[in-house]
């Protein structure tokens, strides 16, 4: 690896050692101002940029989620971009509490076209942007620092002139693109200059947006850069300090969280982090990180699967299975010990709720391995536990409980889990819940040759213990000597097609054998359980039975 080709970044100097760095030890305690750039930064990174219909779908979604600050496009870049802004402005599609912003490069033609796009708007933000870092100045613009300063000046002055003429409440955003790799003194000077030109005041603040256009530093270094700007800007009270983290190092979320704690007021990002290269900071993750710590994110993410579906349709890109909060697998455990802990945690929550006379959803969430309750964001418990060779009895029992309402006795769980592990070891693949259920029924709920065997004179609806004893007594008449070792009965879930379940362990020549029965009554379930156990034991009813031998039934333990 040619490591010599890369340089270590000089960290941002903050005055004096021991200067407080609240981002290192003070967690966020409120939601920031959110700004979505899905329709601009997200859109410009798509293979097929959104057409008008997809843009509108995305816009409506952002509004529904509660975004009040939405960058809707780059009107001078393409026809669709321009037309979409006109569609929103002339159609009156921007709700009263939402402000749209439009992006422009610092070029006179681009700025003019941007103002054409928002003509007639009651209010809008014009977002001026150009790179400021040395590499961009020298290689891309081929300009000196003072020429780049002039680019900013000219752009800002032109915006102010056009805004004066436009009428409406037009405000400004300025982004020194590549801020994070710009010399801090130059970034500060150019930001102060723009704030002065637009005459930023607390009543009409400038949004100063500081991007890590290409994320190059660790999150704490970015936070130091933000803190330094926060502490040194001339008109800090007239500035909405915004960050725009990209995710090249995979730390955009951490960088945004630190930057907010370091003094930023606002964060620009996209849903699920779509954007250039590795993407923009993911607003969903940021918001749900706040939510998971008991802070109202001020965004409605209560139906995250629907949000994801719309975003996938608009971007034509899939959210990966491990994506925080939204991915298919992020609330799923395959591994046995995790499954065991999750199912115990869920049962504990249910028990707590029952004893408090409340619904589980009303209690504080504290379930091992699950940072939030999937149901709080519109996800279900269905896929929490999936079974493969890494799974254990807890997970398998969970599948039968959640899908079929069967709560297996612990010893039966162990036995059945061993059978399932043989299958998963052999196939090396996941076993779907339906196949687990099929295997369970085939193994434990089949009376085989004993089907239709009845105890003479047994009344329907008999008590389960009596029903089992009566059947075993009848079996003795047919030469099969067995006694009940254990009998547990319980309700069964609707998916079983029966109201009752019974788990019978009988002793056949001192050999314990489990059988499971389902039935419309507890007695019928017990009979079916005993018959299945008899069948599993290998014993067959004989027509000419020898003398019956007594067998001592024992009490059930549940």
Ligand X SMILES: CC(C)C(=O)C(=O)O
Ligand Y SMILES: CC(=O)SCCNC(=O)CCNC(=O)[C@H](O)C(C)(C)COP(=O)(O)OP(=O)(O)OC[C@H]1O[C@@H](n2cnc3c(N)ncnc32)[C@H](O)[C@@H]1OP(=O)(O)O
Q: Which residues bind ligand X (CB under 6 A)?
A: 41, 129, 175, 177, 209, 211, 213, 244, 246
| CA proximity to 189, closest of 242, 143, 132 | 132
Residue 209 binding target from ligand X, ligand Y, none, CB below 5 to 8 Å by type: ligand X
Cβ nearer to ligand Y, comparing 275 with 553: 275
542, two tokens: 């004989």
Q: Which helix (H) or strand (E) holds 191?
A: helix 184-197
Q: Dihedral sign for Cα 210, 219, 256, 323, please.
A: positive
Residue 400 binding target from ligand X, ligand Y, none, CB below 5 to 8 Å by type: none
Residue 244 binding target from ligand X, ligand Y, none, CB below 5 to 8 Å by type: ligand X
Smallest gap, in angstroms, from Cβ of residue 282 to ligand Y?
17
Residue 246 binding target from ligand X, ligand Y, none, CB below 5 to 8 Å by type: ligand X
Residue 106 binding target from ligand X, ligand Y, none, CB below 5 to 8 Å by type: ligand Y
Among 23, 34, 74, 258, binds ligand Y (CB under 6 A): 74
Is there binding between residue 418 and ligand Y (CB under 6 A)? Answer: no
Total site size for ligand Y, rule CB under 6 A: 14
- Three-state secondary-structure class, residue 408: coil
Residues 6+ apart with CB under 8 A from 173: 101, 125, 126, 127, 128, 206, 207, 208, 209, 242
**Per-residue CA distances from 316 to 51, 114, 277 (Å):** 12, 27, 16
Residue 24 binding target from ligand Y, ligand X, none, CB below 5 to 8 Å by type: none
Instruction: Report yes or no: 186 and 229 within 8 Å, Cβ to Cβ.
Output: no
Smallest gap, in angstroms, from Cβ of residue 121 to ligand X?
21
Is there binding between residue 215 and ligand Y (CB under 6 A)? Answer: no
Q: Which helix (H) or strand (E) holds 124?
A: strand 123-131
Instruction: Report yes or no: 102 and 125 within 8 Å, Cβ to Cβ.
Output: yes
Kindly give the pairing relationship between strand 169-177 and strand 266-269. Answer: unpaired
Residue 390 binding target from ligand Y, ligand X, none, CB below 5 to 8 Å by type: none
Instruction: Report yes or no: 517 and 527 within 8 Å, Cβ to Cβ.
Output: yes
Cβ nearer to ligand X, comparing 211 with 519: 211
Q: What is the DSSP string of 527-542?
A: HHHHHHHHHHHT----
Q: Which stretch binds ligand Y (CB under 6 A): 18-26, 100-108, 307-315, 364-372?
A: 100-108
Cβ nearer to ligand Y, comparing 141 with 381: 141
**What number of other Cβ atoms are within 10 A of residue 153's Cβ?**
17
Is there binding between residue 107 and ligand Y (CB under 6 A)? Answer: yes
**What is the rounded distance in angstroms from the CA atom of residue 31 to the CA atom of residue 344?**
33
Smallest gap, in angstroms, from Cβ of residue 220 to ligand X?
20
CA–chain centroid gap for 518, Å, is: 38
Smallest gap, in angstroms, from Cβ of residue 213 to ligand Y?
5
Place of tokens 């040194």: 232
Kindly give the pairing relationship between strand 266-269 and strand 33-36. Answer: parallel
Instruction: Report yes or no: 102 and 118 within 8 Å, Cβ to Cβ.
Output: yes
Residue 391 binding target from ligand X, ligand Y, none, CB below 5 to 8 Å by type: none
**What is the rounded distance in angstroms from the CA atom of residue 79 to the CA atom of residue 127?**
18
Is there binding between residue 278 and ligand Y (CB under 6 A)? Answer: no
Smallest gap, in angstroms, from Cβ of residue 41 to ligand Y?
6
Cβ nearer to ligand Y, comparing 75 with 483: 75
Span 43-62, contacts to ligand Y by CB under 6 A: 44
Residue 77 binding target from ligand Y, ligand X, none, CB below 5 to 8 Å by type: ligand Y
Cβ nearer to ligand X, comparing 43 with 332: 43
Is there binding between residue 193 and ligand Y (CB under 6 A)? Answer: no
Q: What angle do CA 93, 95, 96 make, to 5 degrees?
A: 130
Residue 224 binding target from ligand Y, ligand X, none, CB below 5 to 8 Å by type: none
Is there binding between residue 129 and ligand Y (CB under 6 A)? Answer: yes
Smallest gap, in angstroms, from Cβ of residue 367 to ligand X?
38
Smallest gap, in angstroms, from Cβ of residue 436 to ligand X?
48
Kindly give the pairing relationship between strand 500-508 and strand 482-491. Answer: antiparallel
Length of the chain: 558
- Three-state secondary-structure class, residue 21: coil
Smallest gap, in angstroms, from Cβ of residue 141 to ligand Y?
5
Using CB under 6 A as the criterion, which residues of the chain lie in contact with ligand Y when the complex forms?
Answer: 41, 44, 74, 76-77, 105-107, 129-130, 140-141, 177, 213
């Amino acid at each position: 690896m040619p490591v010599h080709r890369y340089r270590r970044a000089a960290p941002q100097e903050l005055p004096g050692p021991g200067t407080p760095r609240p981002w290192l030890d003070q967690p966020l305690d409120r939601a920031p101002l959110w700004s979505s750039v899905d329709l601009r930064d997200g859109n410009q990174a798509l293979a097929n940029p959104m057409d008008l219909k997809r843009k509108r779908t995305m816009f409506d979604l952002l509004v529904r989620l509660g975004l009040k600050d939405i960058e809707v496009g780059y009107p001078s870049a393409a026809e669709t971009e321009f037309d979409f802004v006109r569609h929103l402005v002339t159609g009156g599609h921007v709700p009263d509490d939402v402000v749209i912003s439009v992006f422009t490069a610092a070029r006179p033609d681009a700025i003019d076209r941007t103002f054409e796009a928002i003509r007639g708007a009651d209010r809008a933000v014009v977002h001026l942007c150009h790179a400021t870092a040395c590499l961009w100045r020298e290689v891309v613009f081929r300009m000196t620092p003072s020429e780049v300063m002039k680019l900013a000046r000219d752009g800002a002055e032109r915006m102010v002139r056009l805004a004066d003429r436009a009428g409406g409440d037009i405000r400004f955003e300025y982004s020194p693109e590549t801020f994070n790799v710009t010399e801090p003194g130059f970034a500060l000077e150019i930001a102060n200059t723009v704030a002065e030109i637009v005459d930023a005041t607390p009543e009409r603040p400038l949004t100063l947006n500081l991007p890590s256009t290409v994320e190059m530093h660790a999150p704490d270094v970015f936070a130091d850069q933000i803190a330094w700007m926060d502490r040194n800007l001339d008109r800090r009270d007239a500035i909405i300090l915004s960050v725009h983290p990209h995710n090249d190092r995979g730390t955009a979320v951490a960088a945004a969280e630190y930057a907010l704690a370091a003094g930023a007021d606002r964060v620009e990002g996209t849903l699920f982090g779509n954007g250039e290269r590795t993407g923009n900071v993911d607003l969903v993750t940021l918001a749900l990180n706040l939510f998971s710590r008991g802070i109202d994110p001020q965004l409605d993410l209560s139906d995250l699967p629907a949000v994801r579906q719309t975003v996938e349709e608009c971007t034509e890109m899939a959210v990966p299975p491990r994506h925080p909060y939204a991915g298919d697998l992020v609330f799923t455990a395959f591994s046995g010990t995790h499954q065991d802990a999750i199912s115990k945690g869920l049962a504990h929550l249910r028990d707590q709720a029952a004893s408090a006379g409340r619904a589980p959803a009303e209690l504080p969430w504290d379930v091992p391995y699950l940072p939030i309750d999937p149901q709080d964001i519109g996800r279900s418990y269905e896929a929490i536990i999936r079974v493969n060779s890494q799974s254990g009895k807890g997970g398998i029992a969970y599948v039968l409980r959640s899908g079929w309402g069967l709560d297996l006795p612990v010893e039966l769980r162990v036995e059945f889990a061993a059978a399932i592990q043989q299958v998963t070891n052999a196939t090396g693949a996941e076993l779907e819940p339906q196949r687990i259920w099929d295997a369970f029924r085939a193994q434990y709920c089949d009376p085989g040759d004993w089907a239709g065997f009845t105890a003479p004179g047994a009344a329907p609806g008999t008590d389960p213990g009596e029903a089992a004893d009566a059947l075993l007594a009848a079996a003795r008449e047919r030469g099969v000597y067995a006694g009940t070792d254990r009998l547990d009965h319980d309700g069964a879930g609707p998916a079983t097609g029966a109201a009752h379940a019974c788990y019978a362990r009988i002793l056949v020549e001192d050999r314990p054998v489990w059988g499971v029965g389902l039935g419309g009554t507890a007695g019928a379930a017990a009979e079916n359980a005993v018959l299945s156990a008899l069948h599993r034991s290998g014993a067959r009813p004989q027509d000419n039975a020898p003398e019956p031998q007594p067998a001592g039934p024992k009490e059930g333990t549940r």
